[in-house]
Structure 1
């Protein structure tokens, strides 16, 4: 066997430079999830590394920094960043501080503890920013994105309809209406390592359900159960796990959409599938399903959650108030039972498959995402795709770009992928439903049948859009389509004037749902081709 060729001096030098960069771990997770406890362990245990720590806390007193400062030894460095979030308002400060610590040569490793409301993606993107021809990645190596999850509060946080503002987490931010469940899911979906902490406070069955949910949301992440944040240090430092490309495609819904199906296992009890069809949803029947217990974690005895899934993305109050221990208050239970009975009464004449799904007999959906076609008028619902996004109990179905079938033929794309996806059936064209479903205890065939039951019937299909316009629409019935089109056009004009650059908001659009088509290629959904999202509604 021939000996391997020696590495060239140039490649060896490049390798040394890469290895010389300071490694970085970012800790994300809600307040109380255990980030500071883990940080304490990293600072106090004997690992032989000189640690630098950046602590970001939104509170005026910066309690996390005060707690951590007591633990920092003489050879370690603490930088406290407060009155802002490192994923937006303090982003430039973060870049400068990391660069300063890396250039000092005094530290072997850097740990960044983000505030509980920080989104991991924009923090990670900071490491790829170029500044005067130099990138932070030349000095620092983003090694691991760790998300801490509180096993005791996870299912409640997943099911809650509260916004960050409701909890007093983001009182003066632009996007105080961002939802707790949405942020929780985003923190999990972008992680390399998820630590399910406080497992001593829950039963084995509940811990298993939390782990199942985490694995369903992010099949790529390394999942560790812990008590008092006791995890092996080599599981969160110098793992070499982070890759922006992998992290950006690790979400379970996206892997399912791309055809990378993760099969259901008895051990985790979570599974997924993609619902695809070329027939519109009846907004009334779909609204019933979205309001039902089927779109929850299935752990609450109060079902369904009281909420309206609509274009404005707003919701009615949650199913039951909770006390500090997460127990439903008795005074709310009867009201919720009445709500459930009223909802099922509305569905009494609907297909049995839909009714069974509403009762939770076919599984409990904790995450769903995609595009939807709602039956409606030619000037409204039938011309615009719906961006479907859902976490926990929070469902948002927001009108977005036009279906190409509703624009003149001369303005339609001519590329091969678009042509292949086009249906020549009258009234269809590129209109479709493509929705990823991730659920507990999922009966795939039965749930698929329930979604099919939510579509227009053969008779309703034959009646066409003129008849659909008369359907009572609890989802988009209050949309002013003329105002929507005007706002959408104005947004496109603004993007053109600014060269397509969008301003930074605290809640980020993590990209379009890229769904596979026949032949295995990926494409952006048709709803994204003609127009950007409008101000109508939120994107959960």
Structure 2
């Protein structure tokens, strides 16, 4: 019988190790651990060993000097298979590094070599209530320290990784609720539910949770988790509102799909108009918490219509490219109320490259994730179009478009949309030589450029 697995994610300092130690002390299961740290010393493994009865430390499998979602992925699969053969235990918990993306880890237990002996039950993301509220849920951010940039991984803005962890899970633990007021906690919960509508949200203090609520679940579904992020649902709802078919291209390695990176790449077009009705699910989602304190001891089920907390959700779709200079200027001066923006961009001067935009915290990353179908040979275009009869196709530009999901709190959404429209090429610029436009937008597959709202000189870093 496969051994159940729980993946524990969350940024550095969110309280993962505290929660893990509480689980070890309160659960009657025999738990094996995989603890990953990016530094040369695996501090988390030491802490877990010191705070539990694991006197020999043999049950703690430490993978050091790397991240299990990337460079040590082979070590992870081999190690957990070997662990299962050599030891007897009831449950495996994988504590990921604070800079690890959960989806690649999950796929190893669902589709990798470890899938034969393990059953992934749950992906749990631990969130620091104070830090999350001040970064993402506060209406005004004046006086709040700037979001940290890339840390040891050196590849992506840290805030972007935090939201990736929030968006790919089926259980969110909002920890350290003793550090926020009841109203601040409610705002944080409402925003978490908007960012990941299908995850259960549990609020707590000091990492105290019901072990059965974390280890006794059987609800994780890889494809559901991969497609259920709030920004993806915004785009799906917007597409459904236009009565278009699914234009995703699932067969071409040159395309922009990058499925295991969590990007949304639907190419079903739109008219150059915009409906400002919010496409968020207003029904709310149940979660367990108490209105008066941060403990997770109540049986209250609360619906959280996003508008009650000033949360705005909208989609932006245009069939006209951005001017690279004006777009870069906008990215360096995005409004404080914007929490998340993600999707595909069409930037003039990059006619082949489909570029994914991802904003979180104070930084935006632009990454080439593939090519537009329209940039392929006529023969290949015909092949893909014949397999997608509902794909919208412009006679001149093909499937090229900008398609973004926008999530904010206290945000003047119409004003942001107008600013985005101002970045589009004018009619005169559409007839100009786009190669003459200066741009630092990325060109190569996998290449990423990052711009910070603290910098006013355009795209700031090319990795």
TM-score of the two chains, using structure 1 as the length reference: 0.62
1:535 is the counterpart of 2:444: no
The equivalent residue for 2:44 is 64
The equivalent residue for 1:197 is 175
Q: Say which SS state the counterpart of residue 449 (structure 2) adopts.
A: coil
Aligned mate of 2:188, from 199, 207, 210: 210
Question: Residues 101 and 107 of structure 1 are in contact (CA less than 8 Å); yes or no, is this contact kept in structure 2?
Answer: no
Separation in 1 of the partners of 2:147 and 2:19? 29
Aligned mate of 1:84, from 66, 80, 85: 66
Q: Cα–Cα, structure 1 residues 224 and 467, in superposed 2: closer, same or farther, change >3 Å? A: same
Question: Residues 199 and 207 of structure 1 are in contact (CA less than 8 Å); yes or no, is this contact kept in structure 2?
Answer: yes
Question: Residues 263 and 271 of structure 1 are in contact (CA less than 8 Å); yes or no, is this contact kept in structure 2?
Answer: no
Separation in 2 of the partners of 1:438 and 1:69? 41
Question: Residues 59 and 82 of structure 1 are in contact (CA less than 8 Å); yes or no, is this contact kept in structure 2?
Answer: yes
1:241 Cα deviation after fit: 1.8
1:50 Cα deviation after fit: 1.9
Aligned mate of 2:28, from 48, 54, 65: 48
Q: Cα–Cα, structure 1 residues 399 and 87, in superposed 2: closer, same or farther, change >3 Å? A: closer
Q: Deviations over 1:266-293 (max 9, x none)?
A: 3443332221122233444434432224
Q: Say which SS state the counterpart of residue 40 (structure 1) adopts.
A: helix
The equivalent residue for 1:351 is none
The equivalent residue for 1:461 is 427
Q: Say which SS state the counterpart of residue 421 (structure 1) adopts.
A: coil
Q: Which runs of 5+ in 1 are unaligned?
A: 1-19, 299-363, 489-532
1:145 Cα deviation after fit: 0.8
Aligned mate of 2:365, from 368, 371, 396: 396
Aligned mate of 2:392, from 418, 421, 445: 421
Question: Residues 157 and 365 of structure 2 are in contact (CA less than 8 Å); yes or no, is this contact kept in structure 1?
Answer: no
Q: Say which SS state the counterpart of residue 37 (structure 1) adopts.
A: helix
1:164 is the counterpart of 2:145: no
Q: Cα–Cα, structure 1 residues 70 and 394, in superposed 2: closer, same or farther, change >3 Å? A: same
Q: Mapping of 1:15-34 within 5 angstroms?
A: 20-34=1-15
1:28 Cα deviation after fit: 1.1
Q: Which runs of 5+ in 2 are unaligned?
A: 137-144, 241-278, 283-304, 451-461
Aligned mate of 1:372, from 342, 345, 352: 345
Q: Say which SS state the counterpart of residue 382 (structure 2) adopts.
A: coil
1:211 Cα deviation after fit: 2.3
1:197 Cα deviation after fit: 0.8
Separation in 2 of the partners of 1:293 and 1:536? 19
Separation in 1 of the partners of 2:436 and 2:28? 71
Q: How many residues align?
A: 377
Separation in 1 of the partners of 2:354 and 2:33? 46
The equivalent residue for 1:386 is 355
Q: Say which SS state the counterpart of residue 423 (structure 1) adopts.
A: coil
Q: Which has the larger radius of gyration?
A: 1
Question: Residues 73 and 105 of structure 2 are in contact (CA less than 8 Å); yes or no, is this contact kept in structure 1?
Answer: yes
Aligned mate of 2:205, from 227, 231, 234: 227
Question: Residues 367 and 447 of structure 2 are in contact (CA less than 8 Å); yes or no, is this contact kept in structure 1?
Answer: no
1:91 Cα deviation after fit: 2.5
The equivalent residue for 1:238 is 216
